[in-house]
Amino acid sequence: MYQSSSTASRPGGGTAPWLLKPQVPVSPQALTLVCVPHAGAGPGVYRAFARQLAPHVSLRLVHLPGRESRVGEPALDSLPRVVRAALPALVPELRGRFALWGHSMGGFVAFELARVLQARFGLRAEALVVSGCQAPRSPERAALPQRRLMEDDELWLSAADLNGIPAEITGNGALRELLLPTLRADFAVFETYEYRAGPPLSCPLHVFAGRDDPEASAGDMEAWKLETRSDFTLTELAGGHFFHLEDPVGFSDRLTSVLWPRHATR
């Protein structure tokens, strides 16, 4: 279960829940962790982590349009639009200690949110965690598939090959037609992202790579160290592109070890 943490105005009026807070008991001193999902995913993908990270970490799940309860809204197709739209709901939630975590597409979104929060609002994260996402200055980015330009069948199969589509809906034609526009828009967010030079982050930056990930190897992620003037760690874990979902308990322990090391179990 979730409660709407913050809302933002819809273009046509009304409000939409941009941030969801899992209803899990946490400590009053808990660190707020803003989570940005991968392409095509909604906040539900982080459900497994809410209880694993409690009580020391309290999640705020970025709820992008075009998925789950916002499936009737058009998805945003550029990273600057995503950042601009999310900020009004996000800023009021970050008056205490906070960190950000993004996976794959969400890695670039979380990174740019951290930059804007630091530069424009004076809100400095305690850490940025990036998983399964090539560094923005990695030359290997140019070799990644341009999925936003693929035909529908090819795009769907390509996402399925990464295990980015749950097996129970891979063959569901109605759901495919519903989700394809969002998936294509999300890949556009990721693939058209243009890195612009700016001051490095002042917070530690922790990156995680899957050993068998064809999209973002540890070598592809090494250049993330250029984006911070603080501590940098790079950890390679067993698994593919969605290694964090293959072992949510183990990855939760890894997150705790970098976000709240006093309470880490390993």
Active site residues: 104
Burial class (CB in 10 A: 0-12, 13-18, 19+), 168: exposed
Q: Which residues pair with 114 in a beta bridge?
A: none
For residue 151 the two structure tokens come to 């035909």
**Distance, CA of 83 to CA of 81 (rounded, Å):** 5
Query: How far from 223 is each of 73, 193, 201, CA to CA, in Å?
Result: 35, 16, 14
Please give the backbone phi and psi of residue 232, each rounded to the nearest 5 degrees, phi first.
-135, 135
**Distance, CA of 157 to CA of 135 (rounded, Å):** 25
Edge-to-edge strand list for the sheet holding 2-9: 2-9, 15-22, 57-62, 31-36, 98-103, 128-131, 205-210, 232-237
For residue 202 the two structure tokens come to 């002042």
Please give the backbone phi and psi of residue 226, each rounded to the nearest 5 degrees, phi first.
-75, -15
**Distance, CA of 220 to CA of 131 (rounded, Å):** 11
Residue 122 near residue 91 (C-beta atoms within 8 A):
no
For residue 264 the two structure tokens come to 């880490």
Residue 50 near residue 249 (C-beta atoms within 8 A):
no
